[in-house]
Amino acid sequence: MILDMDPGVDDALALLWALSSADVAVEAVTTVSGNVNVDLATTNALKLAELMDRSDVPVFRGASEPVVGDAIRATHIHGETGLGAAQLPHPQLAASEGNATTALCALLRSRPGHFQIVAVGPLTNLALAEQREPGILSLAQEVVIMGGALRVPGNVTPTGEFNFVSDPQAARTVITSSAEIRLVPLDATRQMHLSKEQLLSQLQDATPRLREVCLQLTATAMEIGQKKSGVARMYLHDPLTTLLAIQPELAGWETLNLDVEPIGELTAGHVVVDERSQSDLQGKPVSVATRVHRDKVLDEFFKPFLTMEMCSR
């Protein structure tokens, strides 16, 4: 797995899971501007890798701005550091030489059909790789993406989800590429909320330090959930996507013809679904997660956390 991300609280949980799961071999982490700026995203990824004592996993700094337009941030959800209330030490690890786009191209060319890309941030790095070497993303075994809103409201614009609105042109470039794509949109991730009570229940047999880190990571997002709904809870957008990359049977999937609107004051980043009853549909057929087996997802996601080892630093 190559993880492309913008940590970010739920990105952090996804990365902790991937680095600790026996079913996942994380070959590289690439960072991108999104929830926080790319420098902070890179530092956060390095902090988490060091926390897991995984200096073997290279972290490549990626794009600092969208392909087109200005960057947007989500620090009101993730906190100013991107890691909620967690105070992790500054990493001794350093980012690997070279940038994310170059690393993606080199890895995919080195072993065609071997790597699975899981992209849970804006798709800028992947789009830049595709622009540099057209067809490069098709050398991945598949690209699993958290992004878009199909039949539900957006979370940034009326119809737009954060990752796609952050870089609509990049989203369109990747979605319409020749890569094999699976999409996990807000339609699926909004079925996957986690309350503070559920988090404590899932981690009751984990180490005290892990429980503390997870509670700190999720504190800001949980507080927002409390204010909005009266329940301390958050959505597991990126953890769900990362888990479904490995265990797709935990969701129902539907093949839909999709495209992404790259411009528009109200519609940039909107996912267009062509469901007309005709043969020449617009867009590209993409496998989309729909119904989620929520309880099974929670149980499967937290299993590695119960045996997770953390660096003492």
Alpha-helix runs per DSSP H in 247-302: 294-302
Alpha-carbon span 120 to 10, nearest angstrom: 9
Host H or E run for residue 234 = strand 233-235
> How far is 31 from 62, CA to CA, in rounded Å?
5
Rounded-to-integer distance, Cα 8 and Cα 188, Å: 19
Q: Which DSSP category does 304 fall into?
A: G
Other C-beta atoms lying within 10 Å of the C-beta of residue 208: 8
- Neighbouring residues of 146: CB distance < 8 A, sequence distance ≥ 6: 119, 120, 163, 184, 185, 189, 237, 238, 240, 241
Catalytic residue chosen out of the listed positions 78, 90, 114, 237? 237
Residue 193: active-site member? no
Residues identified as active-site = 237
